[in-house]
Structure 1
Amino acid sequence: MILSQKLFVATLTAMFTFFILPLFFVEENANDYFIGFVVSSVTIPFIFTFGLLTSMLIGNFCHKYHLKKIISFLLHIVSGVICLMIFAVYIFITGGSPEGYIQTGLMIALLCITVFFYIDIVMKKKSK
């Protein structure tokens, strides 16, 4: 039950952010869109897998120790930053410079985490 709910929430988050994320990128270069598509085809499965697993672990941890939602939200942010750092290390290893991507990545990660967390709370309330 919890996996299907988290998967549904992640799908809603992905659909929502699909329309929001282009606002962060104002250049209209066709090459940039292709690069974004290629990067997304690699990162989205990783983010879904990493995000779903960590979200379930955080949820179980917070439920077990009766922690408040704000702690859960902060732990979700930490897991998002860890995910972003994994990509930054990958970019660095492959010869790129992650500096420009980190600021944008942090804004996008915070947006996605906030949307995911809010939708997850709403879905939990509706399922009760």
Structure 2
Amino acid sequence: MTGDIDHEVAEYWKENYDLRYIMERDWDKLGENLKGKIHIYCGDMDNYYLNNAVYLMEDFLESTTDPYYEGEVLYGDRAEHCWNGDPELPNAISRLRYNSMYVPKIMKRIEESAPKGADLTSWRYE
């Protein structure tokens, strides 16, 4: 009501809900489990200005070492909130084809991270 910031509450939110801060703080514990799993898609004209937070996240992710995050951060040129990574079609259409957009990425990740000797062929229907 007053506009005053409750710094104790802000600090609590930062420690418990700020994903970029948490990953940066705990990368030495989280990094190996997150390597190759972080894929962020954001319109560069997000209706809620969330692209600004994504820029900060990308800066952190690109700075990671031991391990490097091995994911992707993509921006839709002049795209709005909920842009989903398709640079060719508007969201209303590309939402209808998520399977064809993301299954190849998922399959690549499975192949790269499967345990040695895992069966990677019998369940594939190509």
**For the superposition of Structure 1 and Structure 2, which TM-score range results when normalised by the shorter chain?**
under 0.3
TM-score, structure 1 as length reference: 0.27
Higher helix share: 1
More strand by share: 2
TM-score normalised by structure 2 residue count: 0.27
- The structure with more radius of gyration: 2
